[in-house]
Structure 1
Amino acid sequence: MTYRGLILDFGGVLTIRMRLNGEAFERSEGLAPGAYTHALNEHPDGVAIYKALEIGEATQEQWNQVIGGILRIDPTDLMRRALANLHLEPLMVEAARRTRAAGIKVAMLSNSFGLSPFNPYEALGMWDGEWDAIVLSEQLGVRKPDPAIYQHTLEQLQLAGDECVFVDDHAVNLPPAEALGIRTIHHTDATVTVAQLDALLERTMPAA
């Protein structure tokens, strides 16, 4: 199979693991280990505000206020502080660039962190010029794993599902892509993922 498109998640794929960033944030704010993860993934108000942010029904500043309140810390510019230790994963970024240089279309597909007042994509240099398509959940009003966001990404690339590979670090986000015929990779380690991509795209990837 010759693939013509590569779709990459942002946080945890093109960047270091989100868990590592969260742990660094907890240390910088003097929080108990696991407090930030609990606020985002287990506290009802935290879960609700993050979902609303991702689909554009809440602003980043509203997220700052709610999460700051749960954690009992200053909410000022909280998203920027929370992502201050999020860095790019060089192996994945280079793989994306090599893939695009080989003539394969490359898209970034992300459940959004919000874009204002802090744009994490722009801050890390992953904005216009690097992609054939950028799909952010807040701009569509749907988030992964809603099938509509994968279909929209295919339309932006002007490719069929069976022409594309999708990489995400959350297993729950893979089945809806697979249902559209997209080949999926569950990302757990950059070295492993890059090797898988090289194997899948070897017909069109140039030598490193």
Structure 2
Amino acid sequence: MLCDLDNVIRFYDTRELASLERRAGLAEGTTQRVAFAPETDLPLLLGEITKEQWVESIVVGLAGQIPEAQARELGTALANAPFHADSVVVDMLVQVRTHVPLVLVTNATVELEDDLVSLGLAGFADHVISSARVGVAKPDQKIYEIAAGQAGVALDRCLFVDDRLENVEAAVRLGMTGVHYREPADLREALAVLLDR
């Protein structure tokens, strides 16, 4: 089983960021739209820039909308947003791992390993494939091939779970079974055979 991390297992609390955006006169979500645009986000996810450099690129992206100091405050609030793991999803995946290998496949920063420790998820999966470590990001087919290789199974024997439809569609094109995750029920339905054992 290949599973995404963010917005499946890990969720961020962006309430402070939303409050700062309102104070700055920006629509809620403006900072994230700038931060997660491919030209801003991808260098971070490929391990080419640091989180600090990412914040500076957010500042550049917000230029002209708000003062630089305020933009930096927003970028920093996003970069340091607290996060937690969904215990319902974690419990399901722990059960599944007793039957099949579990591989996390995530577009992540070089801080992923530390993040997993702080989530209490170090050693949670059999393997962790991070875009920042392997130099390719979903939906590039190479990251799926790396993950399947680590699991020791053929691509068509993999179940892939992700919250982004484009990533699921890329996995399906390679012959994987794909699950577009929106809520725990999506995962429970896909894993019913294993969870009911």
In structure 2, the residue matched to 1:90 is: 87
Letter in 2 for 1:63: W
Shift of 1:28: 5.8
Residue 39 of structure 2 corresponds to residue 48 of structure 1: yes
User: For residues 55-94 of structure 1, what are the structure 2 equivalents within 5 Å?
Assistant: 55-68=46-59, 70=62, 72-74=71-73, 80-81=79-80, 83-84=81-82, 86-94=83-91
In structure 2, the residue matched to 1:115 is: 111
Distance 2:114 2:77 in 1: 12
Q: Report sequence identity in percent.
A: 23
2:19 to 5, 27, 31: 27
Task: Provide TM-score, normalisation by structure 1.
Answer: 0.78
Distance 1:105 1:163 in 2: 11
Q: Identify if the C-alpha distance between structure 1 residues 41 and 60 changes in structure 2 by more than 3 Å, giving closer, same or farther.
A: closer
In structure 2, the residue matched to 1:3 is: none
Long gaps (5+) in structure 1: 1-5
In structure 1, the residue matched to 2:10 is: 15
Aligned to 1:36, the other structure's residue is in SS state: helix
Residue 166 of structure 2 corresponds to residue 167 of structure 1: no
Long gaps (5+) in structure 2: 63-69
Give the root-mean-square deviation of aligned CA atoms: 2.5
Distance 1:180 1:48 in 2: 26
Distance 1:28 1:97 in 2: 37
Residue 121 of structure 2 corresponds to residue 126 of structure 1: yes
State the 4+ residue runs in structure 1 displaced beyond 4 angstroms.
Answer: 28-31, 75-80
Letter in 1 for 2:58: I
Task: Provide TM-score, normalisation by structure 2.
Answer: 0.82
